Amino acid sequence: MTQELVYYIFKIENLSKRIKEVLEGLNHVEVDYEPNTDNRD
């Protein structure tokens, strides 16, 4: 494998991990907001 290829694979893995964290964060926000709106109504 070329060093460049290894570098890009590492970057892509890092990016996918980041995206996963962001999506999980968004899911938590949605879960947090739903009960709050229910309580207000």
**Token pair recorded at residue 12:** 């892509």
Three-state SS at 41:
coil
Q: Tokens for 29?
A: 């926000």
The model's pLDDT over 1-41, given as tens digits with 9 standing for 90+, comes to 799 999 999 999 999 999 999 988 887 766 555 555 555 55
Among 14, 16, 17, 10, which Cα is nearest to 1's?
Answer: 10
Query: Which of these, 19, 21, 25, lies nearest to 33 by C-alpha position?
Result: 25
Q: Where are the domains of the chain?
A: 1-41
pLDDT score at 33: 56
